[in-house]
Structure 1
Amino acid sequence: MSTLSYADVKAAADRVAGHVRPVAVAPGDPDGPALALEFLQHTGTFKARGAQNFLLAHRESGTLPDAGVTLASGGNAGLANAWAAGRLGVPATVFLPETAPPVKVARLRGYGAEVRLAGSEYAEAAAACEEFADRTGALRSHAYDHPLIAAGAGTLVDEILERSSSTPDTLIVSVGGGGLFAGVATAAHHHGVRTVAVEPEHCRALHAALEAGAPVDVPVDSVAADSLGARRATPLALAAARASGAPSVLVPDAEIVRARRALWDGHRVAVEHAAATALAALTSGAYVPEDGERVTVVLCGANTDPTDLAGPAS
């Protein structure tokens, strides 16, 4: 499946209703954007939506095996899948390299996942995950490259529209592999709302795909690479960008850091660099709204170490 429809997003919304926290929308300052506070979601990121939709859809169709779900991820996707599986009473087996920080292992186990350490790199953990799935029949999940994952992410759009004091003209979202973007752009386009895709200058998987006309591998080097460091964008993201005509903009790391600091200084909100990337499109001037354009920035996650925000701005 290389395209996503609003019907897919609507089906996901019906499926996850009552399982995820509806997004809160904070009105902006007089000259500033509104903020969609998706970092308040279960597990701290939007990924809980896709993980829940993925598992619920498989349970509905009778394709959720007794062996449960498995994936290789110590980041936000691993946490979201572990949480979603726990909510449904489904086993979750998450593979990490032996070098994974103990805090990540502990948090995954706190959500009820079985954590298996394999190899010294994520590629080795991923290979062990594949072998486990082949041997046990466990359902393979993915951080972003699946239509059910993307449709789940897109469910926040209708919630934003319902909770906004005035309908936004534009939604601004950060892009890594493109799961969030594909879902948001698809749903927003259905409602006549523009989506702006924002990436770090040196994590530009979607931008490069649009230039090349197909997903291509890109280098990954950014302060936001822990969440946005996909080597290539998904076909779903590329198709959504083309269908919606979404502008794709790039921001330097220095502006991402500055935007993250501004959110803390101005709102006492501590978000991931990935979330601040979306705001950096505005604060850096990479995207300049037209006069009167109503803009909402999606703050997608807050799994971050806030200690570097404690002192005065440099």
Structure 2
Amino acid sequence: MTVTREQVEEAAVRISGRVRRTPVLRVSATVTFKLELLQHVGSFKPRGMFNRLLAAKEDGSLTGVGAVTASGGNAGLAVAYAARELGVPARIFVPESAPAAKVARLRTLEADVVQVGTEYAEAYAAAVVASEESGALFAHAYDQPEVVAGQGTLGLELLEEIDRFDTVLVAVGGGGLIAGIAAAIGDRAKVVGVEPELAPTLTRALEAGQPVDVQVGGVAADSLGARRIGEIAFQVAGAQGIESLLVDDAAIVAAREELWREYRLAVEHGAATGYAALTSGVYKPATDERVVVVICGANTDPSTLT
């Protein structure tokens, strides 16, 4: 199971007018930020969720029963937002560890919020059961073709916004964003995954030759806390030779603080993970290598930034 550039292009047409075209910010001669934190509900996720729901509306599988998802927060926000815009109910299963700010935001979007278990996997299991019992459309947080293709529209924007870039650093949780960007960009630039050391889903899958369950934790677990990499992301990573780098929590915290101090970007820890690879030296660009860092989420408590 994989996703093609053609599917990403179809997604771009389908979701046009529903999502924001987010800007880029050139921060040095060789580093550019893609400011996806400015997307609706504060993350890249609406791209994929609009594509999933709109495609289902086209084929008749999205009905008045609505949509169900499981999420640490951002995918849930995206489903709730897209469902509200399309006039259908949304039921969001989140772990009890989900940040209070994200849960409160879900409720402002008129979603039915159900908190289950201590991590994403438990919320996911409950959401699957709820979908099967109710007939609601199940929207996977990161491992459905429509979702991945929608996330890939970010990559198409990069190709239009920047004359030349060599590398894209992308934070990895379940892998939907990196898979979509890689499908969109193909061989035009290198795509590199960056994961927290305490949530190494892609790294462990590449080592094992298949997706495997891993223990997850750390400061970025609320957004990058999937226990297993998605099948689509694994297939895309293998086909394109995508590498995954690991950064520790201290590097993530420091990168997040720097994004606020130097650029006044208030981001969640997961969104600082890609930048942490640069600031910590885990990723060392070659001379004159032009690097894009995807800054992918803003759902954080600003009072924690100094």
Shift of 1:265: 1.1
Pick one of 80, 83, 104 that aligns with 1:82: 80
Shift of 1:152: 0.7
Residue type at the aligned position of 2:76? G
**Matching residue of 2:22:** 23
**Matching residue of 2:62:** 64
Shift of 1:120: 7.6
Residue type at the aligned position of 1:8? Q
SS at match of 1:54: helix
Which entry has the higher C-alpha Rg, 1 or 2? 1
Shift of 1:186: 1.4
Residue type at the aligned position of 2:57? R
In 1, Cα distance between the equivalents of 2:284 and 2:256?
A: 19
Equivalent residues in 2 for 1:142-161, closer than 5 Å: 142-161=140-159
SS at match of 2:192: strand
Equivalent residues in 2 for 1:231-250, closer than 5 Å: 231-250=227-246
In 1, Cα distance between the equivalents of 2:83 and 2:164?
A: 34
**Matching residue of 2:296:** 300
* Distance change >3 Å, CA 125–CA 181, structure 1 → 2: closer
Task: Report the more deviating stretch, 130-139 or 34-43.
Answer: 130-139
Residue 283 (structure 2) pairs with residue 287 (structure 1): yes
In 2, Cα distance between the equivalents of 1:249 and 1:195?
A: 11
Residue type at the aligned position of 2:90? A
SS at match of 1:155: helix
Shift of 1:201: 1.2
* Distance change >3 Å, CA 216–CA 19, structure 1 → 2: same
Identity of paired residues, percent? Answer: 54
Task: Report the more deviating stretch, 120-129 or 78-87.
Answer: 120-129
In 2, Cα distance between the equivalents of 1:221 and 1:131?
A: 25
Task: Report the more deviating stretch, 240-249 or 192-201.
Answer: 240-249
In 2, Cα distance between the equivalents of 1:277 and 1:173?
A: 8
SS at match of 1:184: helix
**Matching residue of 2:220:** 224
**Matching residue of 1:34:** 32
**Matching residue of 1:54:** 52
In 2, Cα distance between the equivalents of 1:284 and 1:210?
A: 23
In 2, Cα distance between the equivalents of 1:233 and 1:170?
A: 22
The aligned length equals: 306
**Matching residue of 1:214:** 210
* Distance change >3 Å, CA 99–CA 261, structure 1 → 2: closer
Shift of 1:98: 6.9
Taking structure 1 as the reference length, the TM-score comes to 0.91
Residue 169 (structure 2) pairs with residue 175 (structure 1): no
Structure 1 unaligned blocks of 5 or more = none
Cα deviation digits, residues 231-280 of structure 1 (max 9, x gap): 11112111111222222211111111111111111101111111111001
* Distance change >3 Å, CA 138–CA 226, structure 1 → 2: same
**Matching residue of 1:204:** 200
Taking structure 2 as the reference length, the TM-score comes to 0.93
Cα deviation digits, residues 134-188 of structure 1 (max 9, x gap): 2321111111111111111110011112122x32111110000101111011112
In 2, Cα distance between the equivalents of 1:269 and 1:100?
A: 22
In 2, Cα distance between the equivalents of 1:174 and 1:268?
A: 20
**Matching residue of 1:7:** 6
Cα deviation digits, residues 94-127 of structure 1 (max 9, x gap): 2346786664443212112223456787666545
Contact 2:120 2:225 in 1 (8 A): no
In 1, Cα distance between the equivalents of 2:120 and 2:202?
A: 22
In 2, Cα distance between the equivalents of 1:122 and 1:297?
A: 26
Residue type at the aligned position of 1:86? R
Contact 2:253 2:269 in 1 (8 A): yes
Contact 2:199 2:218 in 1 (8 A): yes
* Distance change >3 Å, CA 215–CA 287, structure 1 → 2: same
SS at match of 1:219: coil
Shift of 1:218: 1.2
Shift of 1:304: 0.7
Pick one of 241, 266, 287 that aligns with 2:262: 266
SS at match of 1:4: coil
Structure 2 unaligned blocks of 5 or more = none
